[in-house]
């Protein structure tokens, strides 16, 4: 039997849940479907073996100044820990560089990245094929020319950590559009007790408790005056409007069949926007009495070229120029390290067991801390976002050859057009068009629909509220249309 509602929301991540709250505030109670056995989407805070919360998804507020998440955290007394200065271990077997040396490296990389933003802002002729990596490395070489005591290989490796910002190799990130994201001021900060309390505060218990879990959507038919949402194991749902908030990776994989098919323009945008991979790897050292790593909230191991090919280390080092570790012992006393792993290395680790991952990190860290008696963690826990069929990656970026206009295309509502060669038409719901109001509509939200804050949780939040407002206007006009017929 089909279940009916005025609105169905597909996906119970930040966008879907906050849209649900906004709709309830307007007197509209949606049905919220979630494929997983939990709410949150890419916000995944789970109890760890010590009973304390652990983030395997979103964990950091990027740019705390002027960020709604910062205000939300303050309202519930959630503790934020700024990610301060980074300690660099430039080569295996050597101690961490001095504070002064680490500061110079960080400043050189930051200056190189800031310089490319200035170059892009002052030039109207950046080749659409240009990438961030080439520009950053060119600026780093220029910095070494001015300060010959700087080590270019160390700087190049340190710049590899920029891949964490995009969940992608910086060689795949568009230089032309590097400044599209709005940068908030303030330190990036970890939410120490986990991101889940922020999600709960933003969405409210009523919405969260109403979510129908383990409802896997396989097909959406929006050809008629209502939308039919087909699930794999819980029947069909009928609605006047459907809000689609599934991650871009799911849309790229075409795991949901749309009838009629999405328009060529929308499909092009889905294919063209980059969707990267970043996995958090939690390394548990609770079997140790004290840490063997530096007493700071984060450190990074670097691999200059001559190290990577050194037979003494080649078989034990993880294949990334930079590997960042967040030190939870410094943050809250827990003997945990959390490694940030991106791209192909993350995919490689996802093909392994947690036990194998623990061994790999143990060998890697032994190269940098040879005097430590035990570098293998007693357990490792991996986020595994690539192999998750309900995410298929982590977050979006503008790839080389991409276009920021794609975010607007992905955010625009749509409806079917009978007899048209264009199977989907867009309707921004700005007027009480009788033709538009009589049709069922698909609406779209998620971080991949936000130009200036794509890839961020606050961007997903804003998109959910924007889509809820569009739905409210649409339903009002649809009701008005029905009354006047």
- Report how far residue 209's alpha carbon sits from residue 134's, in angstroms, rounded to the nearest whole number: 48
Per DSSP, 212 falls in state: B
> Strand 379-382 relative to strand 278-284: parallel, antiparallel, unpaired?
antiparallel
Which residue, 188, 234, 185, 227, is CA-closest to 211? Answer: 234
Q: How far is CA 37 from CA 144, 147, 246, in A?
A: 52, 55, 15
Would the annotation count 177 as a binding residue? yes
| Phi then psi dihedrals of residue 131, to 5 deg | -125, 165
Q: How far apart are the C-alpha atoms of 409 and 271, rounded to whole Å?
A: 12
Q: What does the alpha-carbon distance between residue 475 and residue 23 come to, in Å, rounded to a whole number?
A: 11
Residue 331: count other Cβ atoms within 10 Å of its Cβ: 17
Distance (Å, whole) CA 59 – CA 280:
9
Q: How far apart, in whole angstroms, are the C-alpha atoms of residue 399 and residue 380?
A: 31
C-alpha 145 chain-centroid distance: 36
What is the torsional sign of CA 59, 63, 67, 71? positive
Q: Is residue 35 a known part of a binding site? A: yes
User: Can you tell me whether residue 442 is helix, strand or coil?
Assistant: strand
Closest listed residue to residue 72, CA positions, set 204, 161, 160, 185 = 204
- Whether residue 32 is annotated as binding a ligand: the answer is no
State which H helix or E strand residue 155 sits in. Answer: helix 152-159
Say if residue 411 carries a ligand binding annotation.
no
Query: Cβ distance 241 to 235 under 8 Å?
Result: no
Whether the CB-CB separation of 414 and 241 falls below 8 Å is answered with no
Q: How far is CA 48 from CA 336, 380, 476, in A?
A: 11, 11, 46
**Alpha carbon distance 470, 307 (integer Å):** 55
Binding residues: 34-35, 177, 217, 340
Binding residues for FAD: 34-35, 217
Binding residues for substrate: 177, 340
């Amino acid at each position: 039997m089909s279940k009916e509602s005025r609105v169905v929301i597909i996906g119970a991540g930040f966008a879907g849940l906050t849209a649900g709250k906004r709709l309830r505030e307007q007197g509209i109670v949606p049905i919220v479907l979630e494929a997983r056995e939990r709410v949150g989407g890419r916000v995944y805070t789970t109890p760890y073996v010590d009973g304390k919360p652990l983030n395997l998804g979103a964990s950091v507020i990027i740019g705390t100044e002027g960020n709604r998440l910062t205000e939300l955290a303050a309202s519930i007394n959630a503790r934020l820990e700024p990610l301060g200065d980074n300690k660099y271990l430039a080569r295996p077997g050597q101690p961490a560089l001095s504070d002064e040396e680490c500061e110079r490296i960080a400043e050189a990389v930051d200056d190189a990245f800031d310089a490319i933003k200035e170059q892009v802002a002052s030039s109207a002729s950046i080749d659409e094929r240009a990438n961030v990596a080439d520009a950053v490395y060119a600026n780093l070489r220029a910095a070494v020319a001015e300060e010959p005591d700087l080590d270019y290989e160390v700087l190049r490796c340190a710049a590899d950590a920029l891949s964490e910002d995009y969940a992608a190799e910086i060689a795949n990130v568009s230089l032309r559009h590097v400044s599209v994201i709005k940068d908030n001021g303030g330190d990036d900060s970890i939410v120490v007790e986990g991101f889940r309390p922020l999600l709960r505060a933003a969405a409210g218990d009523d919405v969260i408790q109403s979510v129908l879990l383990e409802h896997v959507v396989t097909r959406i038919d929006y050809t008629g005056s209502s939308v039919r949402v087909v699930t794999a194991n819980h029947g069909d749902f009928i609605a006047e409007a459907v809000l689609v908030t599934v991650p871009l990776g799911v849309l790229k994989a075409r795991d949901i069949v749309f009838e009629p098919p999405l328009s060529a323009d929308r499909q092009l945008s889905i294919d063209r926007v980059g969707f990267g991979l970043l996995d958090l790897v939690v390394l548990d050292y609770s079997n140790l009495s004290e840490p063997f790593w530096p007493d700071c909230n984060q450190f990074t191991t670097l691999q200059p070229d001559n190290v990577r090919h050194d037979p003494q280390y080649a078989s034990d080092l993880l294949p990334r120029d930079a590997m960042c570790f967040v030190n939870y012992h410094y943050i809250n006393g827990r003997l945990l390290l959390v490694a940030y792993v991106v791209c192909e290395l993350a995919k490689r680790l996802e093909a392994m067991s947690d036990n194998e991952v623990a061994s790999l990190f143990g060998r890697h860290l032994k190269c940098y801390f040879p005097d430590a008696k035990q570098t293998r963690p007693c357990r490792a826990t991996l986020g595994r976002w690539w192999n998750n069929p309900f995410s298929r990656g982590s977050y979006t970026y503008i790839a080389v050859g991409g276009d920021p206009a794609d975010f607007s295309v992905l955010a625009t509502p749509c409806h079917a057009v009978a007899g048209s060669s264009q199977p989907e038409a867009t309707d921004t719901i700005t007027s009480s068009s009788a033709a538009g109001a009589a049709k069922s509509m698909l609406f779209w939200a998620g971080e991949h629909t936000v130009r200036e804050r794509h890839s961020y949780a606050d961007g997903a939040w804003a998109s959910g509220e924007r889509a809820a407002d569009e739905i409210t206007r649409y339903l009002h006009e649809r009701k008005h249309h029905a009354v006047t017929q």
